[in-house]
Amino acid sequence: MRKVSILLILIGLWVSSSAQITSTAYSALGIGYLPSKGLINNDAMGGIGISNGNTWHLNTINPALLYHNQLSTFEFGLTGESRTLSSDISTSTIGSGGLKYLGLGIPVTDPVKTDIIWTMAITLSPYSTVNYDVFTFQESPGPEGDSLVVNRTGTGGLVQASWAHGVKLFKNFSLGVKASYVFGNITRESANQLFYPEEREVLVGNEIEIDTIYTTDYKIVISERESYSDWAFELGAAYKYELSETESINLGATYEFETAIQTELFSKLERRDANNSLSGFNADTLEVGLRGDVVIPARLGLGISYSKQNSFTIGFDYLNQNWTNYRSFDQEFTSFQNSHSFALGAEFIPDISSAENYLKRITYRFGLEFDKTPYMVQNESINEFGINFGLSMPVSGFSNVNLAFKYGQLGTTDSGLIKEEYFNFAIGASFNTNRWKKLPRFN
């Protein structure tokens, strides 16, 4: 009962904090910033996981590789980051963090009694995150000297609760399927505030001088809240070509089907004073429960890796998603483009059986990633680059403490845009046990 209570507390913390794990100005677009789908061990390798499975970690990237998990596995991860946003006129630093994922994997069949190896997994992870606060300044079309300040803010994001199955059908071939319930809320505000110059008398020493200050009377705020809920589906396949008893070339593929997420929109118009209180008239409701769909394009993933059992793995993943097919309430968006992701990663265990040197039993990881993101702003393609490294430290039994570090860059200062540099840190644990194998299974 105590373990169940702890798990429920973790889930509650995750649902309340997951949407804030990243703060980026580009989360203002679409459904927000799309974080990696892997666990900490995948992140440390640049995000690869389409072809490379792992006995001690769940695979949330390709469900076909879940068959590697022949022990019951529970995983969780925490993340935090510091991000510096730079434009042509200013620089600011912000921080964010939260619970990154929860996962539970349980073998369904007993490989001793059947040739078909089957493992299922239940996971909670972020689907998208929205967390931004951006100011823009422009000249007003009114009297000369007036300036219009627009403050755009947004919070929230989408969560996915997934149920995945991976089945090894033949000696070296496996298939997987994953069903995810995607849900969440996104709240956005756009505040338009007009500042105009005003001359005032000020006392400077013993003299009165005329000074010009900028003042404002009110601002017009448009608030929107979007509620999302629907199902998403994914297929995976994997094949292992054996070079020897301990070495293999591994191939993998994933396909996420196009998803139309049911969405409900609420919006209102408000006039607020300088203290952000309602001014002049009450809020004017624009939309109440307007229903529509947000269409997320299909995504294809391909991966290849070389592995030497309990020693070394190196792999490469490629992802493609045509975001020009993105739709929101039947509207097309010119701010989206076809996205491409490239990731190269490796892991190395010096000596997994070393009894004398603990450092030799640690798994060391490194990775590089480059993303041509879905975002196209002012005819500028928004790219992201990351350098990753991390490790897994064995603890009691077959469990591990996992760490990942990342230095990344997103965006550009060209065309008046924002460039972001960030440091991300993640820590988590993987608990592997055979206690849950007492559950009823197929033989």
Residue 201's pLDDT is 66
**In Å, how far from its chain's centre is CA 363?**
24
Per-residue model confidence as pLDDT tens digits over 24-53: 889 999 999 999 999 999 999 999 999 999
Give the least confident one: 60-69, 173-182, 271-280, 422-431.
Answer: 271-280
Per-residue model confidence as pLDDT tens digits over 195-235: 776 666 666 777 777 666 667 777 888 999 999 999 999 99
**If you average pLDDT over every residue of the chain, what do you get?**
88
The structure's pTM equals 0.88
Query: From the CB of residue 6, how many other CB atoms can be counted at a distance below 10 Å?
Result: 10
pLDDT at 244 over 50: yes
The residue ranges of every structural domain in the chain are 2-438
Enumerate the H helices of 143-208 as residue ranges. none
Beta strands per DSSP E along 205-326: 207-215, 218-242, 247-256, 259-273, 284-296, 299-308, 312-322
Residue 1's pLDDT is 46
Residue 6's pLDDT is 47
Question: Using CA atoms, how far apart are residues 234 and 173, in angstroms rounded to an integer?
Answer: 18
pLDDT at 78 over 80: yes
Contact between residue 177 and residue 235 where contact means Cβ atoms under 8 Å apart: yes
Give the least confident one: 85-89, 310-314, 327-331, 374-378.
Answer: 85-89
Contact between residue 165 and residue 214 where contact means Cβ atoms under 8 Å apart: no
pLDDT at 439 over 90: no
Q: Output the CATH code of domain 2-438.
A: 2.40.160
Question: Using CA atoms, how far apart are residues 301 and 98, in angstroms rounded to an integer?
Answer: 27
Beta strand 338-348 with 331-332 is: unpaired
Residue 206's pLDDT is 72
Q: Which amino acid is at 171?
A: K
> Which residues, including other chains, have CB under 8 Å from residue 160's CB and lie 6 or more apart?
124, 125, 126, 127, 180, 181, 182, 232
Contact between residue 400 and residue 361 where contact means Cβ atoms under 8 Å apart: no
Considering Cα of 8, then 10, then 14, then 16, what sign does the dihedral take? positive
Residue 279's pLDDT is 63
Beta strand 380-394 with 363-377 is: antiparallel
Contact between residue 70 and residue 119 where contact means Cβ atoms under 8 Å apart: yes
